[in-house]
Amino acid sequence: MAPTLYMIPYSQPVRATLMTIKALNLDVNLKEVNLIDKQQLSSEYTKLNPQHTVPTLVEEDGFVLWDSHAVMTYLVSKYGKEDSLYPKDLRKRAVVDQRLHFENGVLFPDTMAIIRPVIYGGEKIIPQVRIDRVKEDYGLLEKFLQGKKWVAGDHVTVADFSIVSSITTMDVVVSIQGAQFPNIAAWIERMEKLPYYDQNKTGLDQIRKVIEDNLK
């Protein structure tokens, strides 16, 4: 039997994980968890994942893992035919890990801070302080990409999958200006050409509609 991934397509961490799965050409059973209906708070789901987040991976032998960063690196380490998505070389891996922590500790929280009040709180006008924070994040990523094709170096890695899920969501509310952030704009174009980018685009289109509808 294939592993099962509990997910919802519009979730940023899920989109990153789905890109990883497609890049690895893995057979995974997908089981949707409706966050709006609070299915993640059911007793069945919280037994699997007490943090009641998505994605959650369940292997056929009962092994359970959540947090997209942990899930992606685990999947590459276990199922990858080679290690380019998550290098075994310690220094290369350390850079990928740093970028993953940047997404987890900076980009994802700042994205949630700007879109949650719109989606769940009925906010129609985004405070300038949050917009400024997102632009600061863009500035950091712009520097990370200086002289590089991908966020962690010369090869696409799981860090690209993770970061693009947040950056493209941020772009829905704080547009990335190519003249100001040319490295980011060029990197997104490269990401969009990857054969597994559709796994980000599908969920992104869903959350874009929700955000834009709520801002009307």
**Among all residues, which ones are annotated catalytic?**
11
Q: At 65, list the tokens.
A: 């893992």
Q: What is the DSSP letter of 82?
A: S
Torsion sign across C-alpha atoms 132, 134, 138, 141: positive
Alpha carbon separation from 80 to 19, 21, 113, 215 (Å, rounded): 13, 10, 34, 41
Cβ(158)–Cβ(190) under 8 Å?
no
Contacts of 114 (CB under 8 A, 6+ apart): 126, 130, 131, 133, 134, 170, 173, 174
Question: At 100, is the secondary structure helix, strand, or coil?
Answer: helix
